[in-house]
Amino acid sequence: MTAHAKPPNPSPAPSVPKPHTLAHRAQYALLRVVVAWLSSMPLESARRIGERIGRFGYWPLGIRRGVVERQIAAAFPGLEPDRVKALARRSYENLGRLGIETALVSRLGPAALESLFEGQGDFALCQRRLDEGRGVIAFTGHVGNWEIAGACLAARGVPLDAVARRMNNRLFDTYLNAARASIGMKIVYDQDAVRRIPRAIKEGRAVGLIADQGVMGLASTFVPFFGRPAKTPRGPAVFALRFKVPILFVTAMLQPSGKYRLYVEEIPVIDTGDRESDVDATVAAFTQALERMVRRYPDQYFWHHRRWKRQPPGTPAELREP
């Protein structure tokens, strides 16, 4: 099931940076104090604090709890209500832990970052494709720790241009991007992606894209995700077809050992000569890969985003947003 969303203006006007507000400065100061405090303790202790913060978001605050539980129940219709709630609670814990790890990335050098992983995982596949010298699209979704996944590639020497959305708080934005750059990532803001991505591919670099959330104004198509049509960005497929480069699905998933495993899966790029149909089929292929990973690690997915909020006209009632 596919349908196209309206593509964006190919040459968006550059955004004008907003001035720092008092609230932004206060938030940033608090962030630095918290990061300094967390950095003084073992990482596992900091993670547990993050998990507690996440649980607090689930209960008693109940931030988007209804959204999370409805979407989990829709994705796993045979799951009993108590198990839905338990899975939802663990997803909040994962989000809290992820936030702490992301905040601490700047304090981790390559060796410390490498120690977070169980061996090399599937890194060899990524290296083989990069060694071909024609660039790679490194696609991921909001599953596992996407920040750690990108940082792992960069720390292992992968030349990575990561596409990111600019934050409203520019102090936060500068801090996070400095942390990313310290590990070896180049940050490309989404409004510059159309211009910068082709250059990176031609230089044989990897381009990191998070492509599992429908955004207003972003060229997208509707493909099945857990059986329901979900608006999904077309970017990875469009660039892969245009420049004849592979798409690699890259994720960092937390294991029972407390360490991450790096998963890399090559996604088939469908190229029959019918560009629109091929883009749709390729988007469906990488969305299926994401769904398989979420089914394996459902508590490590970002269920807090309304994944089925936007759907094509005529969607049957039973397949609409839960």
Q: How many CB atoms lie within 10 A of CB 295?
A: 12
How far is it, in rounded angstroms, from Cα 38 to Cα 47? 9
Whether residue 16 is predicted with pLDDT greater than 70 in this model: the reply is no
pLDDT tens digits along 158-173: 999 999 888 888 888 8
Q: Which range has the worst mean pLDDT, 176-180, 252-256, 290-294, 312-316?
A: 176-180
Distances (CA, A) of 239 to 61, 116, 202, 247, 263: 41, 31, 11, 9, 22
pLDDT at 133: 92
Token reading at 208: 């990191």
Task: Write down the mean pLDDT value for the chain.
Answer: 90
| 295 neighbors 275 (Cβ within 8 angstroms) | no
For the chain, give the percent of residues with pLDDT over 70.
Answer: 93
> Domain residues of the chain, as ranges?
23-319
How many helices (DSSP H) and strands (DSSP E) are in the chain?
A: 11, 8
Whether residue 5 is predicted with pLDDT greater than 50 in this model: the reply is no
> How long a stretch of residues is the chain?
322
pLDDT tens digits along 275-286: 999 999 999 999
Q: Which range has the worst mean pLDDT, 1-10, 92-101, 175-184, 247-256?
A: 1-10
Q: 146-155 and 170-183 helices cross at what angle (nearest 10)?
A: 40
